[in-house]
Structure 1
Amino acid sequence: MNFTILVPTFNNFEYLKLFCKSIHENSTFNHQLIFHVNDGSDGSYDFIKQRYQFTYSKENIGLCSSINEASRLIKNNYVIYAHDDMFFCKDWDNHLLNSINEETDNMFYFSGTNISYKDGIINYDCGNGPDSFDRAKFDLFCKNDQSNDLQGSHWAPHVIHKDLWDRVGGFSLEFDPGDGSDPDLCMKLWKEGVRKFKCISKFKVYHFGSVTTRKGNIFINNGTKKFLLKYGFNPRFFRKYYLQGDGKNSYKGPLNKPEFTFNMIIDLLINKLKFYYYKLLQ
C-alpha cells in the first residue's frame, strides 16, 4: 500500500535530506511525498523542486497552513503527517500497514513512536543532529525493542484516512504557526466518532525535536489557551480524560466517553475558571 506523506519544511536542509533518505531507503512501498516549502533559500527549495511534489510560500506561513496547502495534492487513501527532522525506521510502512489491516473500518488515528535524545516517547540518544546521528545504533534499538503499542496517541507522525482528513478540514488554521494543532486535530476526530488512538511500537522514528522552533526567531502561538477557549478545557485535560494516554499506557482498544470522577470534576472546574478568565480579558 502506498501512503501520502505531508511534510512542512522551513530552511532545515540537512535534516530534510536525512528525512528523505530514510523514506527512500527504509520503505517497502513507493509513497507519495508532498512538501510545503516555506522560504527554502537554504537550498531546500531547489532540492525539493527537482525531486518531489510540493507547494510553496515565500515566507513561513505556519505548520497548519503549510500542511493544508500540501494536502491539495493528495492521491492516496491514507495520509501521513510528518516532520522534516525525523528519520523513519526500517520497514516502517509494513509495520503501519499491519496495524491498518487489523481494522474493519477507517475510524482510527495511528501514530509512530518517537525516539529522541530527550523529550521523546522513548528517550534513547542516537544523536542531536544529522552530523551526530548514529544510524546503526538506532537500527539496532528498533530491532531489539519490545515496547507495547500505546494508548492515546496525539502526535506526529500520524496517519488517518483521507475521508477523515476531508471531513474535519485538515488542521485548524487558528492554531498557526502550530502549537496545539495536534490535540485540536484529535479533538475534531473525536467529535467525528473516532475512538481508536494508538501509537504503534514497531513504527519508530528518530525525532531530532522541533528544529524549526529551536531557532529562536519563530513566533510561537499559545496553543493551550486557544484550545481552552475553543473546547472549554485544555489539551492536558483532553489527553488525560479523553485519550487516556501520556505515552505510558499500553493500548487496550477503542476508548469510551470519559466518566465523571471527583478528580475529573475538580480539573474541569479549574479549566472553566481559566476559560472565563480569558473570556473576560478579551
Structure 2
Amino acid sequence: MNYNHPINSFKGKLDENAVFSILIPTWNNLDLLKICVESIEKNSHFKHQIIIHINEGTDGSLEWVKANNYSHTHSDQNVGVCYALNALAKLATSNYILYINDDMYTCPDWDKYLMDAIQEQGDEYFYFSGTMIEHTGKSNKCVLSPYDFGTTADNFKEKELLDFLKTAKKSDWFGASWPPSIVHKKIWDKVGGYDIEYSPGFGSDPDFSMKLWDEGVRNFKGIGKSFVYHFQSKSTVKVKKNNYRKTFASKWGITSSYLYKTVLRLGDNYDGKQLVLKKNFNYFINKLKAFYLTIK
C-alpha cells in the first residue's frame, strides 16, 4: 500500500484549559466515533482537546467532524495509525498526549484516575493505559472480559454498562503499551512519536514502548479504575499486515513478545517495583531468536 497521500490539517475549537490532547484515528467508522467522542465529552472529569484523523471519510465522518468544529487531520485514503497519530500530535496543545481508538467508550471519571496516577508519578517518565472492558476473550490479563455490553453502536447497552461499573474492580497492572494510553508531550517529542516503518501500524505499540524505554521511562502501568468499553471493531481486517516482528527484532535486538512478557511484565498485578531488563541467559537466548527473525 502507498502511504504517500497528503494529510490536511484543520484547527477547530480550542479550550485553553484542556488537560489532555486526545488523538483519535478513525476509518469510516462514524457511528462508533460519535459514541467515543460523546463519551469523552460527558464522562470526563476534565476538559480535553479532541483531535481526530479522518481516513477517507466516505461515511460522512469528515462532514460530522467539520460540523462540530473539532480539530482534525484528513487523508483521502487510509494512511494507517502511525502517520495519523504523528499528524494529530502536531495539533496538540496540552502537556499530555492520549491515544484512543474510535471504537472505545470512556467510562465516568476515566481521565481523573489517569491524572491521579500522573500526579503521583511526579515527573514526565511514565506511560499509562486505561483498562479495557471487552465483550469476548478470557486470556488477556490486562482487560475485564467477557462482559458483553454490545458489539455495535446499534446494540450498545450503555445503561447496563454504567450499572456494571458500580461494582467492577480491576487492580493496576504492569505493561501499559496500547490505547487508551497517555504520555507527556515532552517525551512524545523526544522519541518522535510513532515510527512509520510499522505502517499501517501493526507492531507500532511495542515499538513505541521500546522507544520510551530507551529514553528512560520505567513506569509502564495500567490504571485499573480508568475503564473504557472496547467494542473491538475490526478495522484491521481491511488492511494487509506488515512484518512487524521482523522489523522490531531487527531494530531492537529482542522480540516484541519478550519486551511484553519479560521486560514490561504485561498483565501482572502492579506492585510498584521498577521494571528492569535483565541481561541473563534468557535474554541472550531471545537475542538469538530475534536474530533468526531478521534472516527468515
- Asked whether the two chains share a fold, i.e. TM above 0.5, the reply is yes
Structure 1: gaps (5+ residues): none
- Answer yes or no: is 1:78 the counterpart of 2:113: no
Give the conservation status (yes or no) of the 8 Å contact 1:151–1:199.
yes
Any conservation in 2 of the 1:81–1:156 contact (CA below 8 Å)?
A: yes
Say whether 1:101 aligns with 2:119.
Answer: yes
Aligned partners of 1:112 and 1:205 also within 8 Å: yes
Q: 1:133 aligns with which of 153, 156, 160?
A: 156
Distance 1:66 1:82 in 2: 12
Q: Could you say which residue in structure 1 is the equivalent of 2:105?
A: 87
The answer as to whether partners of 2:219 and 2:275 remain within 8 angstroms in 1 is no
**Other-structure match for 1:258:** 277
Residue of structure 1 in register with 2:3 after alignment = none
Corresponding letter in the other structure for 1:86: M
Distance in 1 between the 2:285 and 2:81 partners? 34
- Per-residue CA shift, 1:92-140, capped at 9, x if unaligned? 1111111111112110000010111124622121111111111122222
CA contact (8 A) 1:150 1:201 kept: yes
TM-score (norm 2): 0.88
Equivalent position of 2:12 in the other structure: none
Among 253, 256, 259, the alignment partner of 1:238 is: 259
Displacement after TM superposition at 1:250 (Å): 0.9
CA-atom RMSD, angstroms?
1.5
Paired position in structure 2 for 1:42:
59
- Kindly report structure 1 stretches of 4+ aligned residues shifted beyond 3 Å: 260-268
Paired AA for residue 263 in structure 2: Y
Give the secondary structure class of the aligned counterpart of 1:122: coil
Q: Number of residue pairs matched?
A: 273
**1:152–1:197 CA contact under 8 A, matched in 2:** yes
TM norm structure 1: 0.92
The superposition leaves residues 152-187 of structure 1 with CA deviations (integer Å, 9 ceiling, x where unpaired) of: 111111000000000000110111111001110000
Judge conservation of contact 1:81–1:157 (CA < 8 Å) in 2.
Answer: yes
Q: Distance between the aligned counterparts of 1:13 and 1:273, measured in 2? A: 42
Q: Residues of 2 paired with 1:110 and 1:256: CA distance?
A: 14
**One-letter identity of the residue aligned with 1:68:** N
Q: Aligned partners of 1:65, 1:3: CA distance in 2, in Å? A: 20
Whichever residue aligns with residue 136 of structure 2, its letter is: K
Structure 2 match to 1:33: 50
Q: Separation in 2 of the partners of 1:69 and 1:8?
A: 10
Matched letter for residue 271 of structure 2: K
Query: Tell me, what secondary structure is at the counterpart of 2:161?
Result: helix
Question: Aligned-pair distance for 1:264?
Answer: 3.9
Deviations 1:53-81 (A, max 9, x none): 00111111111001101111110001100
Secondary structure in 2 matching 1:102? helix
Contact 1:243/1:255 (8 A) holds in 2: no
2:255/2:287 contact within 8 Å kept: no
Q: Percent identity?
A: 41
CA distance in 2, matches of 1:56, 1:107: 31
| C-alpha distance in 1 between matches for 2:120 and 2:200 | 35
Taking the TM superposition and a 5 Å limit, the aligned residue runs for 1:209-224 are: 209-214=232-237, 217-224=238-245
Q: Which amino acid aligns with 1:102?
A: E
CA contact under 8 A between 1:195 and 1:254: conserved in structure 2?
A: no
Tell me the distance in 2 between the aligned counterparts of 1:261 and 1:133: 48
Tell me, in whole angstroms, the C-alpha distance in 1 between the residues paired with 2:76 and 2:40: 26
Equivalent position of 1:270 in the other structure: 289
CA distance in 2, matches of 1:210, 1:78: 26
Q: Which position in structure 2 is the counterpart of 1:122? A: 144
Which residue is 2:130 aligned to? Answer: 112
Task: Provide the C-alpha distance between the structure 2 equivalents of 1:36 and 1:191, rounded to a whole number of angstroms.
Answer: 28
The AA in structure 1 aligned to 2:182 is V
Question: Which residue matches 2:72?
Answer: 54
Q: Does 1:154 align with 2:173?
A: no
Amino acid across the alignment from 1:128: T
Contact 2:248/2:254, CA 8 A, preserved across alignment: yes
| Partner in structure 2 of residue 190 of structure 1 | 213
SS in 2 for 1:42: coil
